[in-house]
A and B are shown apart, each in its own frame.
Chain A
Amino acid sequence: MAVGKSIIRKEAWDKVTGRAKYTNDFKEPGMLHASLVTSPYAHARILSLEARRALAAPGVHAVVVGEGLPLTGEDMRDRPPIAVDKVRYYGEVVAVVVADTLAQAEQAARLVRVVYEPLPAVGSPREALKKGAPLLHEHLDRYEKNKTTHPEPGTNVAHRTKIRKGNIEQGFAESDVIVETSVSFAPSDHIAMETRCATAEIWPDGTIHISASSQSPFMIKKLLHAYFGEETGKVIVHTPLVGGAYGGKAPVQLELLAYLASKAVGGRKVSVWNSREHDMVTSPVHIGLEATVKIGATKDGLFKAMEILFLFDGGAYSDKAIDVSRAAAVDCTGPYHVENVFCDSLCVYTNRPYATPFRSFGHCEQAFAIERAIDELAQELQLDPWEVRRKNAIHPGHTTPTQVRLTKSNVGNMPACLDRLRELMHWDEWQRVEVDAYTVRAKGIGAGWKTSTIDTDASSGVILTFNSDGSVNVISGVVEIGTGTKTVLAQIVAERLKMDVDQVHVKMDIDTQTTPEHWKTVASRGTFMAGRAALAAADDAIRQLKDIAACVLRASPDDLEVGFGRVFLRDDPAIFLPIKDIAYGYKFPNGNAIGGQVIGHGHYILRRLTPLDPKTGAGKPGPEWGVCAEGVEIEFNRRDYTYRIVKAYAVIDAGKVLNPKAALGQAMGAMSMGLSFASREGFLFDKEQRVLNPQLRTYRPIRFGEHPEYIVEFVETPQIDAPYGARGIGEHGLIAMPAALANALSLAAGVPLNKLPLVPELIWRTQKGDSYGSV
Chain B
Amino acid sequence: MEETTKRELVLSINGERRSIVARQSETLLFVLRDGLGLTGAKPGCLNGDCGACTVLVDGTPIKSCMMLAIETVDKDITTIEGLDDAPIQHAFVRHFAFQCGYCTPGFIMNAHALIERRPNADEATIQEWLESNICRCTSYQEIEAAVKEVLEAKKAKPTDP
A residues apposed to B, CB below 8 Å: 6, 8-9, 11-22, 24-25, 27, 58, 103, 190-195, 241-246, 275-276, 481-484, 661-662, 664-666, 668-669, 671-673, 695-697, 701-707, 709-710
List chain A residues, Cβ under 8 A from B42: 22, 193-194, 243
Most A CB atoms within 10 A — which of B79, B92, B141? Answer: B141
Name the contact of A193 in the complex, choosing from B52, B83, B143 (C-beta under 8 A): B52
List chain A residues, Cβ under 8 A from B79: 18
Q: Is the CB of A193 within 8 A of B102?
A: yes
Q: Is the CB of B92 within 8 A of A16?
A: yes
Q: Is the CB of A481 within 8 A of B100?
A: yes
Name the contact of A16 in the complex, choosing from B41, B93, B99 (C-beta under 8 A): B93
Q: How far is the CB of B86 from chain A (nearest CB, A)?
A: 9
Bound-state CA distance A673–B96 (Å) is: 17
Name the contact of B44 in the complex, choosing from A15, A194, A662 (C-beta under 8 A): A194
Q: Is the CB of A58 within 8 A of B2?
A: yes
Bound-state CA distance A246–B136 (Å) is: 9
Name the contact of A192 in the complex, choosing from B104, B105, B108, B136 (C-beta under 8 A): B136
Name the contact of B100 in the complex, choosing from A243, A275, A664, A697 (C-beta under 8 A): A243
Q: Is the CB of B144 within 8 A of A704?
A: yes
Bound-state CA distance A27–B31 (Å) is: 13
Q: How far is the CB of B128 from chain A (nearest CB, A)?
A: 8
Q: How many A-B contacts at CB < 8 Å in the complex?
A: 161
For B127, give the chain A residue with the smallest CB separation.
A705
Name the contact of A243 in the complex, choosing from B80, B96, B102 (C-beta under 8 A): B102
1/0 per residue, CB under 8 A from A, across B124-141: the answer is: 001100110111111111
List chain A residues, Cβ under 8 A from B49: 276, 695-697
Bound-state CA distance A77–B159 (Å) is: 66
For A246, give the chain B residue with the smallest CB separation.
B136
Which residues in window 18-45 of B have CB below 8 A to A?
23, 33-34, 37-45
Q: Is the CB of B136 within 8 A of A709?
A: no
Q: Is the CB of B101 within 8 A of A241?
A: yes
For A704, give the chain B residue with the smallest CB separation.
B130
> With A103-B23, A704-B144 given, is the CB distance from A243 to B101 under 8 Å?
yes
Q: Is the CB of B131 within 8 A of A18?
A: no
| Residue B46 is within 8 A (CB to CB) of chain A in the complex | yes
Bound-state CA distance A486–B34 (Å) is: 30
Q: Is the CB of B46 within 8 A of A15?
A: no
Q: Is the CB of B39 within 8 A of A25?
A: yes
| Residue B150 is within 8 A (CB to CB) of chain A in the complex | no
Q: How far is the CB of A224 from chain B (nearest CB, A)?
A: 26
Q: Is the CB of A12 within 8 A of B93?
A: yes
Q: Is the CB of B100 within 8 A of A192?
A: yes
List chain A residues, Cβ under 8 A from B134: 191, 193, 696, 701, 703
List chain A residues, Cβ under 8 A from B2: 58
Most A CB atoms within 10 A — which of B37, B40, B79, B140? Answer: B140
7 interchain pairs, CB-CB under 8 A: A16-B93, A27-B33, A193-B52, A194-B100, A241-B101, A276-B49, A702-B140
Most A CB atoms within 10 A — which of B2, B42, B50, B139? Answer: B139
Q: Is the CB of A17 within 8 A of B142?
A: no
> With A8-B93, A672-B138 given, is the CB distance from A705 to B99 under 8 Å?
no
Which residues in window 76-135 of B have CB below 8 A to A?
79-81, 83, 89, 92-94, 96, 98-105, 108, 126-127, 130-131, 133-135
Bound-state CA distance A671–B142 (Å) is: 13
List chain A residues, Cβ under 8 A from B46: 275-276
Which residues in window 52-68 of B have CB below 8 A to A?
52
Bound-state CA distance A191–B126 (Å) is: 24
Given A17-B81, A192-B102, A697-B47, 4 extra CB contacts under 8 A: A14-B101, A19-B40, A244-B102, A661-B96
Q: Is the CB of B81 within 8 A of A193?
A: no
For B48, give the chain A residue with the smallest CB separation.
A697
Bound-state CA distance A481–B43 (Å) is: 17
Name the contact of A668 in the complex, choosing from B39, B100, B141 (C-beta under 8 A): B141
For B95, give the chain A residue with the smallest CB separation.
A661
Name the contact of A710 in the complex, choosing from B41, B104, B141 (C-beta under 8 A): B141
Name the contact of B45 in the complex, choosing from A9, A11, A661, A696 (C-beta under 8 A): A696
List chain B residues, Cβ under 8 A from A58: 1-2
For B25, give the chain A residue with the smallest CB separation.
A103
List chain B residues, Cβ under 8 A from A191: 134, 136
Bound-state CA distance A228–B83 (Å) is: 47
List chain B residues, Cβ under 8 A from A710: 139, 141
For A661, give the chain B residue with the smallest CB separation.
B96
List chain A residues, Cβ under 8 A from B23: 103
For A665, give the chain B residue with the smallest CB separation.
B96
Name the contact of A704 in the complex, choosing from B92, B93, B101, B131 (C-beta under 8 A): B131
Q: Is the CB of A16 within 8 A of B47?
A: no
List chain B residues, Cβ under 8 A from A701: 134, 136
Bound-state CA distance A669–B37 (Å) is: 31
List chain B residues, Cβ under 8 A from A704: 127, 130-131, 133, 135, 140, 143-144
List chain B residues, Cβ under 8 A from A17: 40, 80-81, 83, 89
List chain A residues, Cβ under 8 A from B142: 665, 668
Q: Is the CB of A669 within 8 A of B137?
A: yes
List chain B residues, Cβ under 8 A from A27: 33-34, 37
Q: Is the CB of A665 within 8 A of B99?
A: yes
For A673, give the chain B residue with the smallest CB separation.
B136
Bound-state CA distance A696–B44 (Å) is: 10
Bound-state CA distance A18–B130 (Å) is: 19
Bound-state CA distance A275–B45 (Å) is: 7
For B94, give the chain A residue with the smallest CB separation.
A8
Most B CB atoms within 10 A — which of A16, A191, A672? Answer: A16
Q: How far is the CB of A197 from chain B (nearest CB, A)?
A: 10
Q: Is the CB of B47 within 8 A of A696?
A: yes
Q: How far is the CB of A182 from chain B (nearest CB, A)?
A: 30
Bound-state CA distance A13–B104 (Å) is: 11
Q: Is the CB of A665 within 8 A of B100?
A: no
List chain B residues, Cβ under 8 A from A24: 43
Bound-state CA distance A523–B134 (Å) is: 24
Q: Is the CB of B47 within 8 A of A244?
A: no
Q: How far is the CB of B10 from chain A (nearest CB, A)?
A: 22
List chain A residues, Cβ under 8 A from B137: 244, 482, 665, 669
Name the contact of A672 in the complex, choosing from B102, B108, B130, B140 (C-beta under 8 A): B140
Bound-state CA distance A25–B39 (Å) is: 6
Q: How far is the CB of A673 from chain B (nearest CB, A)?
A: 7
Bound-state CA distance A361–B1 (Å) is: 50
Bound-state CA distance A707–B138 (Å) is: 11
Q: How far is the CB of B77 from chain A (nearest CB, A)?
A: 13
Q: How far is the CB of A488 from chain B (nearest CB, A)?
A: 13
Q: How far is the CB of B114 from chain A (nearest CB, A)?
A: 11
For B23, give the chain A residue with the smallest CB separation.
A103
For B143, give the chain A residue with the smallest CB separation.
A704
Q: Is the CB of A18 within 8 A of B127?
A: no
List chain A residues, Cβ under 8 A from B141: 668, 707, 709-710
List chain B residues, Cβ under 8 A from A696: 44-45, 47, 49-50, 134
**10 A-B pairs closest in CB distance:** A18-B40, A482-B100, A243-B102, A15-B101, A705-B127, A18-B80, A482-B99, A668-B139, A696-B49, A25-B39
Q: Is the CB of A194 within 8 A of B93?
A: no
Name the contact of A15 in the complex, choosing from B38, B81, B104, B140 (C-beta under 8 A): B104
